[in-house]
Homo-oligomer: A and B are copies of this chain.
C-alpha cells in the first residue's frame, strides 16, 4: 500500500515515515463475527493486519487452553478473499497459534481483541475470552488491548472501531508497563451521544446467578446457568458504572495476581512444616 505524504498530520493514521505496524487481531465471538470485521477494517487503516480467530463462538472460555487434543489452523476467506486464520480452539489457543506458528518470525507490534458483543467489565474480566486473548498476547511481550461493546443486539460498531484505532495509535506510541494490558468497554451509541472517555478500575459488579432446572424428555433434570449483572459501584472510577452512563471505559489490568499486602500477615500464621 502506498502511503500518503499528508498522513503525518492526521491523528487518525500512523505517521507516513514510520514502518507500518504489524497488528494481530483476535476475538472470542468467532472468525465470522461482525465485531471482528469492524476491528479488522479499522486496524487496516493504520497497520498490516493478521487475523487469527476461533472457528466457533468461545464466549465465557476465560483463559482456557486446549490440552487434550490437537488443533487445526485453516485459512479463512470472506467474499472470496483471504481474511485470516481460523483455529478450532479457544481465544488463548489462537494467540498461541499466532505467536508460535503463523507469526513465529514476525512478532506483532500490537495485538487487539474484539470487538466483543457484550461488556467485559468487573467480574466478567475473569470469564472473558476476549480479555484472555489479550492477556495471552501480553505474555508473549506484545502490547495488547481488548475491546467490548455494551450490547448483544443491534450493535453499532462504528464509533467503537474509531476509538479502537485512536487507542491503538496511542499504545503503539507510548507502550504499556510490564504485565499490563488494557481492556476497553464502549457504549453502543453513536459518537454524538458518547459522553467522554474515563480511565477506570475493574469494578465490583457481579452476577447474581441461579441454575434454572428443566426436564428432558425422559424426565431427567438439566440446568441452565442464568444471571443478572448487579451494579455494585457508584462512580465513574468503575468500569461497569462508566459504560452504563455513556462513557468509554479504559481499564489497565495486570496479570500478576499476588496480594502483596497480605503476604506479611500470612507470614504470622501458624504454618510451620
Q: Which residues of B contact A219 (CB under 8 A)?
A: none
Q: Which of A32-40, A76-84, A107-115, A254-262 is the contact stretch?
A: A254-262
Given contacts A223-B73, A254-B257, contact A67 B62 (CB under 8 A): no
Q: Which of A16-24, A42-50, A194-202 is the contact stretch?
A: A194-202
Q: Is A154 an interface residue (CB 8 A)?
A: no
Name A60's contact: one of B65, B139, B170 (CB within 8 Å).
Answer: B65
Q: Which of A2-10, A208-216, A228-236 is the contact stretch?
A: A208-216
User: Interface on chain A toward B: helix, strand, loop, or mixed SS?
Assistant: mixed
Given contacts A65-B60, A252-B266, contact A223 B259 (CB under 8 A): no
Residues A62 and B60 in contact, CB atoms below 8 Å apart:
no
Interface 1/0 per residue, A224-242 and B, CB below 8 Å: 1100000000000000000
Name A273's contact: one of B197, B200, B252 (CB within 8 Å).
Answer: B197
Give the shortest distance, in Å, between A185 (CB) and chain B (any CB): 14
By beta carbon, the residue of chain B nearest A131 is: B257
Residues A258 and B248 in contact, CB atoms below 8 Å apart:
no
Residues A259 and B59 in contact, CB atoms below 8 Å apart:
no
Q: Is A174 an interface residue (CB 8 A)?
A: yes
Q: Which residues of B contact A273 (CB under 8 A)?
A: 163, 191, 194-197, 248
Complex Cα distance A180/B263, Å?
11
Please state the number of chain copies in the assembly. 2
By beta carbon, the residue of chain B nearest A254 is: B259
Residues A125 and B257 in contact, CB atoms below 8 Å apart:
yes
Residues B263 and A70 in contact, CB atoms below 8 Å apart:
no
Q: Is A250 an interface residue (CB 8 A)?
A: yes
Given contacts A97-B211, A257-B255, contact A170 B225 (CB under 8 A): no
Residues of A within 8 A of B (CB): 11, 57, 59-68, 70-73, 90, 92-93, 96-97, 100-101, 123, 125-127, 132, 135, 139, 163, 166-167, 170, 174, 176-177, 180, 182, 191, 194-197, 199-202, 206, 209-211, 213-214, 220-225, 248, 250-260, 262-263, 266-267, 269-273
Q: A64-B127, A97-B223 are in contact. List 8 more A-B contacts (CB 8 A).
A: A57-B68, A59-B67, A70-B223, A70-B224, A126-B255, A174-B269, A199-B263, A255-B257
